[in-house]
Amino acid sequence: MSINYFCHDIHAGLNVRWTTHGWSISPCCFTETKYIDVNNKDWFIKLWPELRKDNLNNKPLDKNLCKSCINDEKVNKQSRRLGEIIKRGEKIDKKILGPKYLEISLDYTCNQACMICGPSLSSLWKKYTTNKIIGNSPISNNKNIEELLKNINLDELDTIQIIGGEPLITEKHTELLLFLEKKLVDLSKIELWYHTNGSSRVGKDVLDLWKKFKLVFLYFSVDDIGKGFEYQRFPGQWDELVDNMIWFKNEVSPNVLLRIERTVSLLNAHRLLELEKWKKENYNSTKFNYEVFLNTHMSHYTILKIENISKKHLDFLKKDKKNYEALLKFHPMHQLIPNKDNNEKVLNFIKNQDKKRNLSINSYFTEFCSFYQ
Ligand code: SF4
């Protein structure tokens, strides 16, 4: 039986980031974005003609562009592609006139400098980077948002995902939603998703605005617990995060569903069971008894990605059978070849960041440095 390589995002997805050069776009969050001139009429319909044609002709997915879904499907994990097929069906039934799924970064203001992130996605990270940084993090304004949306058909839009920076610490997200409402987009047909670091709460105006949506998914970006969390999501404080997560649980309306989104890297691959146990015991359902799901994905764009693991570190992971079995659900670890070429880079990165942040990885992972020396 031939494999169906169909991907809804290639045809009806939009991953959009505001940059110093304007709007940069790709089919989904796992693919590199490219600058697009949104002042062209029908720019959406004209996007990626080769990629769309190949996908409609059921050509295998591009090994580089779509490595995230390819890796997930190798370990029978539900990839983003398969998730959208479950939600929307195995094919498109008519000509796509506009996006169904919009993932958007309006600004990179962030109060955290998470170890797996970087200066292009977090304004605070600029303080800790060794890269030469020119200018401030780009922040889109209402004119930029209007420009982005003026030449696309929004009739089919059913999902909006707002990412940052940290989307809940500025008004940008409400400006976008109120702009869509002004453009007569029916918010009651839309699922609204946020990835938030859980460091801040929202006002009654936002809680009321969320009531107008079909569903709101609030994903708390949490990779670990306690000291592990505080090291990886610096300068996030574990107790403050937990207080805020409980506040949201008590304040949101029934159409707001809560989730935990975990990114697996070299910093937490050995501690997967700790977060799973904490979630089960402390944050397993909402006030309306909807389950709080824990989603997991692998980190891709960081020196701390699992592909840079050393042999010693991999052997250490294999010793903890239960945790290793949990890891195998998220990545084809058996196909991973330890890469000693990056050991020094990984070690120097950790040492540099510890010095700049006045932190130590020994606060929760005493063995780490010995694995890369
Ligand atoms: S990475 Fe997955 S979801 Fe993204 S375009 Fe490729 S197949 Fe589609």
Do residues 200 and 54 both lie within one domain?
no
Do residues 27 and 84 both lie within one domain?
yes
Residue 112: which domain range? 100-305
> Which ligand 1 atom sits nearest the alpha carbon of residue 80?
3
Mutate to test the pocket of ligand 1, among 4, 14, 25, 31 (most ligand atoms within 8 A of CB): 31
Q: What is the CATH number of the domain that holds 122?
A: 3.20.20.70
Domain boundary among 39, 57, 91: 91
Does residue 66's CB lie within 6 angstroms of at least one atom of ligand 1? yes
Do residues 145 and 233 both lie within one domain?
yes
Domain boundary among 68, 91, 114: 91
Does residue 29's CB lie within 6 angstroms of at least one atom of ligand 1? no
| pTM, entire model | 0.90
Do residues 135 and 264 both lie within one domain?
yes
Does residue 72's CB lie within 6 angstroms of at least one atom of ligand 1? no
- Write the DSSP string, 124-157: GGGGT--SPP-SPPPB--HHHHHHHHHTS--TT-
Residue 368 lies in a domain: no
pLDDT digits (tens, 9 = 90+) for 340-364: 889 999 999 999 999 999 999 999 9
Do residues 261 and 182 both lie within one domain?
yes
> Which ligand 1 atom sits nearest the alpha carbon of residue 61?
7
Mean pLDDT of each 10-residue bin along the chain, 373 residues long: 86 91 88 84 90 92 87 83 91 82 93 94 90 69 91 94 93 94 95 97 98 98 98 98 98 98 97 98 96 93 93 96 94 86 94 96 97 95
Residue 285 lies in a domain: yes
Does residue 17's CB lie within 6 angstroms of at least one atom of ligand 1? no
> Which ligand 1 atom sits nearest the alpha carbon of residue 9?
8
Q: According to the model, what pLDDT value does residue 137 have?
A: 63
Does residue 350's CB lie within 6 angstroms of at least one atom of ligand 1? no
Report how far ligand 1's centroid is from the alpha carbon of 228 (Å): 31
Residue 315 lies in a domain: no
Do residues 210 and 247 both lie within one domain?
yes
Helix or strand (DSSP H, E) at 243: helix 238-251
Do residues 73 and 14 both lie within one domain?
yes
Do residues 140 and 177 both lie within one domain?
yes
Does residue 195's CB lie within 6 angstroms of at least one atom of ligand 1? no
Give how many domains the chain has, as a whole number.
2
User: What CA–CA distances, in Å, run from 308 to 99, 121, 127, 312, 320?
Assistant: 36, 21, 25, 12, 20
Do residues 181 and 199 both lie within one domain?
yes
Q: According to the model, what pLDDT value does residue 133 have?
A: 64
Do residues 163 and 196 both lie within one domain?
yes
Report residue 242: phi and psi, to 5°. -60, -45
